[in-house]
Amino acid sequence: MIEQMTLLRARGLCAVLAITWATAGCSEQAATNIEEGAELKSTNGLIAINGLNSHNGLSTSNGLSTSNGLSTSNGLSTSNGLSTSNGLMTTTEGRTTLSYLIRCALPAGHFIAKQDQYGVWSKFPGELGFGPGWENGACDKTCQEGISACMMARVNTAGVHIPLWMVSPAPSIGWGRSTYYPNQEGTFFGNIFAPNPATGTVDAFYCNGPGFAVSTVPGRLGALQANAPYANPFGANAACAGNCIAANSPNQADGYKSCKGYNTPVTVWREPAPVFDITKTYRICSQYSGRCVSIQNSSKADGAKAVQWGFNSGDNQKFTIKSLGDGYYSFCNKGSGKCLDTTPPVGSDGSSIFQWAYDGTAGQRWAISSVGDGWFSIMVKENNRSLDIDHGLPDRTYVDGARMIQEMYTGILSQTYRLDYSP
């Protein structure tokens, strides 16, 4: 799901979307930076590229059940470039794909406005400028390859928003590193618009960077990524180094200018894994309600529920946060010594969160992913659900004692938390 907002921050352009990217640092000069070819910061979270068929790609029929209404021969702003009567414009999922597609294609300050089959208008803003000519003309091979890499880099099949830093030989992006994004996750390349004649399928590829396993989160490379739209053509976990051509000096350590004959790849860098002192305790407080995760009635029993409550500095509101070494963390309560858990039972949407003696199972392993500005999403490994607050009627998300639950991640504020030191 796309979080519908764009933020200008102190060190670059931070577009919060269903995928996370990165820029030379977010600043009020963001628009100028993009025009000058600065590297870019944004977010990931595109759950699926609706309209992409592994055989037919985006440019032909059958990406959905009908023609996707997209032409690379005509400008997106024309009726022949993007149809209003069939394909991507006619479904919610298709319009989500278009929003990513057009953010990748057009530069900031440009947009496409289209009606759906019912005459309802949608406005799709540009952001990155991998294919600026497609606004009013054709999307050539370079345009298609750049947009393809951009789209794949923004996929998170779990829908988790995490910050990424993107670099590319594309003139609108360019090279550059950020100390805030030290881990090279991988490089994306290919052409998802049309099938490769030699294979009959689209070329949707990635390769691994040396830091890809650091701060692993659901929906990205190597972490609970069901139905990934791309594959590593060099072999399982094969590195980009030795298989791709590095950028020219002095940017050779930034990323790659060519992979497998594709000359507009996108290399993604990630934030470091959050670090917590296991000798200290932290409170877990909701951005939506301002209330903090608590163990109900300060219980020390297995199976006691986790609820939210206004912070009162009780031990039942303080947790040690321990890295488990695989990109996941445990949250164990200071008062009881027991840890946040989704079982019993194995949860579905709306199921309660409990405390239980630590056993290392997937229901006690949580991925912590930055969503920017010091806020985090918290998702359990067991079923890829997010820590959330009971949304019962009347609205309980502000109420002391409301249950902490597990819910499919959508990026809403009740699924976003601060993790602050609390002695």
Residue 276 maps to a domain: no
CATH code (residue 376): 2.80.10.50
Out of 270, 304, 329, pick the residue that ends a domain. 270
Out of 270, 298, 322, pick the residue that ends a domain. 270
Q: Read off the tokens for 6.
A: 């764009």
Rounded to the nearest 5 percent, the helix, strand and coil shares of the chain are: 15, 30, 55
Q: How many domains does the chain have?
A: 2
Is the domain of 133 the same as that of 252? Answer: yes
**Location of structure tokens 């393809």:** 148
Out of 236, 270, 304, pick the residue that ends a domain. 270
Residue 275 maps to a domain: no
Q: Which domain holds residue 404?
A: 282-421
Is the domain of 188 the same as that of 220? Answer: yes
What does R_g of the chain's alpha carbons equal in angstroms? 22
Per DSSP, the chain holds a count of helices (H) and strands (E) of 3, 24
For the chain, the first-to-last Cα distance in angstroms comes to 36
Residue 320 maps to a domain: yes
Q: Read off the tokens for 313.
A: 């500095």
Is the domain of 105 the same as that of 208? Answer: yes
Is the domain of 161 the same as that of 132? Answer: yes
Question: What distance in Å separates the CA atoms of residue 137 and residue 280, rounded to the nearest whole number?
Answer: 58
Residue 41 maps to a domain: yes
From first to last of its 423 residues, the chain has per-residue pLDDT tens of 222 222 212 222 222 222 322 222 222 122 222 222 335 666 676 777 777 766 667 754 333 234 588 889 999 999 889 988 888 998 888 898 899 899 999 999 999 999 999 999 999 999 999 999 999 999 999 999 999 999 999 888 777 777 889 999 999 999 999 998 999 999 999 999 988 899 988 999 999 999 776 666 667 886 666 677 888 999 988 999 999 999 999 999 999 999 999 999 999 998 888 899 999 999 999 999 999 999 999 999 999 999 999 999 999 999 999 999 878 899 999 999 999 999 765 667 899 999 999 999 999 999 898 887 889 999 898 888 899 999 988 888 999 999 999 998 877 899 999 999 999
| DSSP bridge pairs for 283 | 420
DSSP summary character for residue 2: -
Question: What distance in Å separates the CA atoms of residue 197 and residue 320, rounded to the nearest whole number?
Answer: 55
Question: What distance in Å separates the CA atoms of residue 172 and residue 177, rounded to the nearest whole number?
Answer: 16
Is the domain of 151 the same as that of 67? Answer: yes
Give the SS3 label for residue 413.
Answer: helix
Question: What distance in Å separates the CA atoms of residue 148 and residue 409, rounded to the nearest whole number?
Answer: 25
Find all residues with CB under 8 Å of 236, minimum gap 6, and list them: none
Is the domain of 229 the same as that of 302? Answer: no
DSSP H stretches of helix in 141-271: 141-153
